[in-house]
Each structure stands twice: as C-alpha cells, then as structure tokens.
Amino acid sequence: MPAAALSPEVLAKYEPVIGLEVHVQLLTATKAFCGCANHFGSAPNTNICPVCLGLPGALPVLNAKAVEFATLASLAIHCEVRERSIFARKNYFYPDLPKGYQISQFDRPIAEHGWIEVPTAEGTCKRIGITRLHMEEDAGKSLHDGFADSATRTYLDLNRCGTPLAEIVSEPDIRTPDEAFEYLTRLKEILLYCGVSDCNMEEGSLRCDANVSVRLKGAPKFGTKVEIKNVNSFRFVRAALEYEIERQIEALESGGRVTQESRLWNANEGRTYSMRSKEQAHDYRYFPEPDLPPLIVSAEFLAATKEKLPELPEARRARMIAEYDITARDAATLTATREFADRFEAAARASRNPRRVANVLLSEVGGRLKALGLEQEQSPVSMAGIVLAADLLDEGKLSSKQLKQLFDVCFERGEDFSAVYNRERPEQITDASALEVLIDQIVAANPKQAEQYRTGKKTLAGFFVGQVMRATKGQANPALLNELVVKKLEG
C-alpha cells in the first residue's frame, strides 16, 4: 500500500512516465472481415458466422468502411498514413477467441507518428506524440456472472468477435495523471467529431490501458513499467495512475524494486492489484496474415478521406471565439459535442447577436437544466425559442429580469419560449416621462453615487439602471432606461 505518508519532497524527486493505449470499436454496420452485424446488445451468439468464429476454410474479407474510419481517425490525430500496411496474426489462446489468434497489425501499421495537443496546468499547450494507430479485430466476451450456475461455469458470447478496432498508442510523453486525463478527453472528443466510434465506455467501445513507470528526475533511462489494464472511465485512469505512481515511488524509496507486470484497478478499494506477469511481445508469434493481401491506401483514397475530415474541436473553438465574440469557456461548453456545436451555430447565424444566444443558451437554459439534472435534449425550450429570446433581449423589448421570469414559466410548465412569450407578452414601460419621474426620485435618494458618477465613475450608471428596474419590477424598456439615466446624470 502506498502510504499517504510520502512527503511532497520525496514525491518531487521522481518523474512519472506515462503512455496510453486506447482501443476504440469502429462504428461500421458490419464486422471487420465478414458481413455479420456489428451491433452491441444483440442476443448472445446471434451475430456470428464461420468467418468470425474462425471455422476451418473460412476466409476473411476486409471491410472498406473500417479502413476509411481508421484512415479518418489517423488523419485527425496527425498521423502519417502508410500506403502499404500488413495484417498479422497475433497468436494466443483464450476461450473467447475461438480462432486462436487475432488479426492485427504488427510492424507495418496503417498509420504512425501523430500527435494531439493537451492543455496544461500552466495554461499552455503540450503536444503528446502518438506512436501508431493500427487496425485489429476484437475478441468475444466471457460472461463470468449473471447466471444461476455462474459460480461453477463461464459462458461465452462471441458476438463481439471480429468487431473492427483501432488501437491508438501514445508515446511515453505524458508526465502527470492530469495530462493522461486530458489526453483521453481530447482523443475521445476528436474520435466523436470524426464519427468513427461512439466511444461508449460502458459498452466497451472505448477501452484504455495505461503504462506507467517512475524515475529519479534527470535519470537517463525509464524505470520499470507497469501496465494498468482495462480501466473503464477516464476518472479511474487518473486515480489508478495517482495510486500506482505513489506505490512505485514507495517501493523504490524503501530499497525495493518495481516488477514489470499487469495490474487491475479496483475502484471500490481505490488500489491496483497484480494480475499476471507481462507477456513479452514475442510470445504472440506474430506473422503476416496469409489470408489477407497487404492493405493499400492509395493517394486517391487518402485524398477522398481527407475531404471527409470534419472541422476538429480545437480549430472549431478558435474559430467560434473569433466569429461570435464568445469567451473561451463558452466555446468549450458549446463544442462539447459536434451536434451541440452545430445547433448553436445554426441558432447563432439566425440571430441578431450570437453572443447573446450563447449567454441565453448556457446561462438561462443551461443553468436551469443543470439545476434540474436534465440533458439538453430534455429542454422544453427549443433553439428557435432561444433565438427569439436573445433577439428580444437584444432589441430591448425584454429586460433580463422579464426574460428570467418567462424562462421560469417555460420550465415550470414544460412549454417552449415562443408559446409563453406570446401568451404573457410582458408589459414594458416605454413612456419616457414616467421613467424620468422614477429616475429623478432615485437620483435624489442617492446623492453620493450621483456625485461619484459626475466625478468620473461612469460604471455607476448601472447602479441607477438597476434601481429603476427594481422599482418597475423589471418592466422598464432597458434601452430607453439606459439612455434616460445617462442623460439625467450627465445633465
């Protein structure tokens, strides 16, 4: 057990070295080498055929869509795509792998030498190298529980056999658990934007193994690495790395050594457990797959795939900040998914003022959804409703207080904004003389603030506007009110 007792001074002597291996299932309609449905959740052993079961004489045929998705993902993470890559057999026995081998890629993967950028704690960007992206097929699943006789038997579901995977291996460039978390978050976001995977960790369509070692700072060589297998959330990856880094430092500090092995993360106990000693790569007896020709990615195919590459999240955020004059923080929230960003942009372009659309969407609607624990799709207010609200606010036809009241009604009754607005049509005081009377009273009641305004503290205009707004229960026309307040104070 790593003691919490490791002092910051001891921890600071060491540098963690982290590399991540991510498996993503590609979102093709059919499997990698046969026509079986690639579908999660079917009845066990229904999406299978002689090819994905590896029955004698069955021959694999490569799914072109899987190649397209792997190429698209490779381009999105800045990899060089190899014109000629080779499928290889990775031999091992496991009950959920009836063929006795996995079709994978070994020394000639489809893509290499990529990178993605992650934000650092200092507010800068760090580039994490990507060693390779290779294509392979998934194995089936052993079901160890959920049956009456699960204590004595294991069941097999082979539906997953032959599901196309991309394995993305990072360089050992990651230095902290937080960087690992950011890398995974960015990578997932990019893959989702490309539409090549649903990246659903609960269903196993994105899985992560983490390699971690520690060394004394400045030491030329890496320490002995430990592989943490199959962690099923990014938060757990971060927690497992934090635990493992301390465990390794403690072992070294107490004069011991780190054993090269695979370990499993136990989220309930918050610790890792030794699983088995790490097999060496040569144990898999890789050799070129005799049933598949080399994979050729032609220049034409590559160019056509590049055309399909969407605008990626980082670039999109930068453009949206410039185009709509929104904050970096708002841009990050608005680009959380490609679909959400698309909806925002459609709304922004239909409105008078995109920045107001962002504010209404994130603060008024987003805030209420969050308070109620609802998702964006469950919002009673449509994007058209948000555009209408933002425009009314922008034209000064609604005060922000009135807007809040209307949104309260939308959420209480589950109605869209236009319905509520058309019914309630909040009164507005647009009579200048009536407002001037109120302004005179409030300025007279606050001589100190009025004097400060006149001696240069112009932001105090907002104070008087707020006071009059309160006196009118939010019904003063905001544009008119602003104008009259300034006129009175200046005069």
Residue numbers at the binding site for Zn ion (CB under 5 A): 34, 36, 49, 51-52
Smallest gap from residue 41 Cβ to Zn ion (A): 17
* Shorter beta-carbon distance to Zn ion: residue 49 or 143: 49
Smallest gap from residue 139 Cβ to Zn ion (A): 13
Smallest gap from residue 51 Cβ to Zn ion (A): 5
Matching residue, tokens 């990626």 = 312
* Shorter beta-carbon distance to Zn ion: residue 36 or 81: 36
3-class DSSP state for residue 261? strand
Task: Please list, in sequence order, all residues whose beta carbon lies within 8 angstroms of the beta carbon of residue 461, skipping any fewer than 6 positions away.
Answer: 453, 482, 485, 486, 489
Comparing CA positions, the residue from 81, 61, 60 lying closest to residue 69 is 81
Q: Could you give phi then psi for residue 230, rounded to 5 degrees?
A: 45, 55
Angstrom distance (rounded) from CA 460 to CA 401: 19
* Shorter beta-carbon distance to Zn ion: residue 17 or 34: 34
Count of other CB atoms within 10 angstroms of residue 209: 18
DSSP, res 107: S
- The sign one gets for the Cα dihedral 44, 50, 56, 59 is negative
Smallest gap from residue 30 Cβ to Zn ion (A): 8
* Shorter beta-carbon distance to Zn ion: residue 67 or 191: 67
* Shorter beta-carbon distance to Zn ion: residue 47 or 467: 47
Smallest gap from residue 273 Cβ to Zn ion (A): 35
Token readout for 292 is 């598949």
User: Crossing angle of helices 417-424/383-394, nearest 10°?
Assistant: 50
Token readout for 60 is 């694999």
CA dist 474 → 333, 384, 397, 438 (Å): 30, 24, 12, 13
* Shorter beta-carbon distance to Zn ion: residue 51 or 81: 51
Smallest gap from residue 58 Cβ to Zn ion (A): 9
Comparing CA positions, the residue from 132, 128, 140 lying closest to residue 100 is 140
Smallest gap from residue 105 Cβ to Zn ion (A): 20
Comparing CA positions, the residue from 376, 27, 22 lying closest to residue 194 is 27
* Shorter beta-carbon distance to Zn ion: residue 34 or 481: 34
Smallest gap from residue 23 Cβ to Zn ion (A): 19
* Shorter beta-carbon distance to Zn ion: residue 36 or 390: 36
